[in-house]
A and B are shown apart, each in its own frame.
Chain A
Amino acid sequence: MQTEVFLAGFGGQGVMFAGQVLSYAAMDAGKEVTWIPSYGPEMRGGTANCTVVIADEEIGSPLVQNPPAAIIMNLPSLDKYESMVKPGGVLIVNSSMVDRDVARNDITWVSVPCNDIAEEAGDKRMANIVATGALLALLPVLSLDDIEAALNAHMPGRHKNLLPKNVDALKRGAEYAKQHVHKAQ
């Protein structure tokens, strides 16, 4: 079994970190995992993306042409990558930064106001964690408990006080996604 997750957004929205949280959780759950960032000139221009591959066996390519899951945090990334998601796949869009719906009906998608939900949970910088919760509600590759354990184990000590807020953000994202999902037709 192998699952790939693609994450994209502006620099500063935490897409790289969200990918790493998934990776740590996958590792701690005993899985093989790769995390590969875009490190080219495009990241200097403000957008960032990374791909996480989670598998039960030795991972071949760390990149895939059509990932079955994606988190898109801003409009330029949605315009660029919407068509890339594999038919039947899952797409999470941060509607706080994207003012249109997903145009496809062959994928399961949900628009989540990640920034607003993060702010309700206590810190708008947790938009990436809200999106991660939304993804895992629709793609059960890891559980929310796995993510909580990974945050607890790998967050730097000085940030440990933020753990309860992050767990709350994660759950709120998952809950919102379950209620607003558009299933693939």
Chain B
Amino acid sequence: MAREMWKGNEAIAEAAVRAGLEAYFGYPITPQNEVLEYLSHRMPELGRAFVQAESEPAVINMVYGAACTGARVMTSSSSPGISLMQEGLSYIAGTEVPMVLVNVMRGGPGLGNIAPSQGDYNQICKGGGHGDYHPIVLAPASIQEAVDLMPVAFELAHKYLNICTILIDGSIGQMMEPIQLPEMQPVVRKEYGWAVSGAKGRERHILTSIYLDVPTEEKTNLRLLGRWREAQANEIRYKEYFLDDAEYVVIGFGTAGRIALSAVRAARAQGHKVGLFRPISVNPFPYKRVEELCKQAKSFLVVEMNTGQMLKDVQAAVRNRIPMRFYGRLGGVMPFPDEFIQEIQEMIKNPGKPDDDPADLWYQRMMAR
């Protein structure tokens, strides 16, 4: 099939349609508006449900209801809108129903701005809503990767009865790249043992997130944890570049990861043995693979568009075995490859010690500029 130029937000919307999206609920917010706009005509055209709700809390509760029927459902928003959805997301997690969430991150905290950021990593990966749950989070770095991950996101959400989030930022949402869209999949509505899809002729299914009987709630938490452990064992995804002989490894996800690819290529051209590790499943995080990379690497450089949120996950895998360096840009600033190239050169010149605090040293450098 021929390649076509698509804008990120619209490509994600079309890929969701082709993955069998049956119901979409949304509320406008920049920089993800094109998802909503595109689906507002595309979904009715196919006889599927599209609702622009009155607010994000309304959106997520509509998603909650639709998810209970076993349909493939999705919403999308950007950082402040995602915050408004957190109560509903926790209810969805507690009720063990599947949904796909797209977060096109922007600068924050607060109202912030509409520029690209990765400041929501902790919120999205570590839960966000109240209670003990672990959403699955995939962080594509290009439009093609995002498109390829849309059907995966629905499959994972349904397999693990969980929230699966596609985590991107405004730059991926707004840019255009040539892509190949997947074939249109038919909408499949299975008879799930849990879905409330009409109880005529069978036992009623009850879906709830309220367990006033405390031991039952503990059992529920253990059930969630069991599924999460399965996801941790089976759903690790990442991409590696130039790692075969790499003595230095740059680690970054999403947009920071693709910017790092430019920097790593430039450093290779200068004769440095540098590689790139780009986590795609940021929850579950590829701890084991990062741990393995410690054996070959003299040092790691972690790059993010936040204050070092994923850095904590890398550190949990590295456990002070090798020295690490961190570089982050904040509040919607998109780093240039030149900045990462300089960091790579500095790392090679002075790898530091394993027990150095990379976030602290980065903060000192930022304040000294």
**Do residues A63 and B336 form an inter-chain contact, with CB atoms below 8 A?**
yes
**Do residues B170 and A39 form an inter-chain contact, with CB atoms below 8 A?**
yes
Interface size class of A (residues with CB under 8 A): 20 to 34
**Do residues B178 and A27 form an inter-chain contact, with CB atoms below 8 A?**
yes
**Do residues A60 and B176 form an inter-chain contact, with CB atoms below 8 A?**
no
List B contacts of A24 (CB < 8 A): 5
Q: Which of A28-36, A95-103, A136-144 interfaces with chain B?
A: A28-36
List B contacts of A34 (CB < 8 A): 175-177
The listed residue (A20, A39, A58, A66) touching B174 by CB distance below 8 A is: A39
Q: How far in angstroms is the closest Cβ of chain A from B257? A: 9
28 contacts between A and B (CB under 8 A): A20-B5, A23-B176, A23-B178, A27-B3, A33-B5, A33-B177, A33-B178, A35-B5, A36-B171, A36-B174, A36-B175, A39-B31, A39-B114, A40-B114, A40-B115, A41-B113, A58-B142, A58-B261, A59-B142, A59-B177, A60-B337, A61-B258, A61-B263, A61-B337, A62-B171, A62-B258, A65-B337, A65-B338
B126 at interface, CB cutoff 8 A: no
List B contacts of A60 (CB < 8 A): 258-265, 337
A64 at interface, CB cutoff 8 A: yes
Count of A-B contacts with CB under 8 A? 71
Q: How far in angstroms is the closest Cβ of chain A from B302? A: 17
**Do residues B261 and A35 form an inter-chain contact, with CB atoms below 8 A?**
no
Q: How far in angstroms is the closest Cβ of chain B from A66? A: 8
The listed residue (A32, A33, A35, A64) touching B337 by CB distance below 8 A is: A64
In the A-B complex, the 5 residue pairs with the closest CB atoms: A60-B262, A60-B261, A36-B175, A27-B178, A61-B259
List A contacts of B337 (CB < 8 A): 60-61, 64-65
Name which residue of chain A comes closest to B336, CB basis: A65
List A contacts of B175 (CB < 8 A): 34-37, 62
Beta-carbon contacts under 8 Å, B152-184 to A: 170-171, 174-178
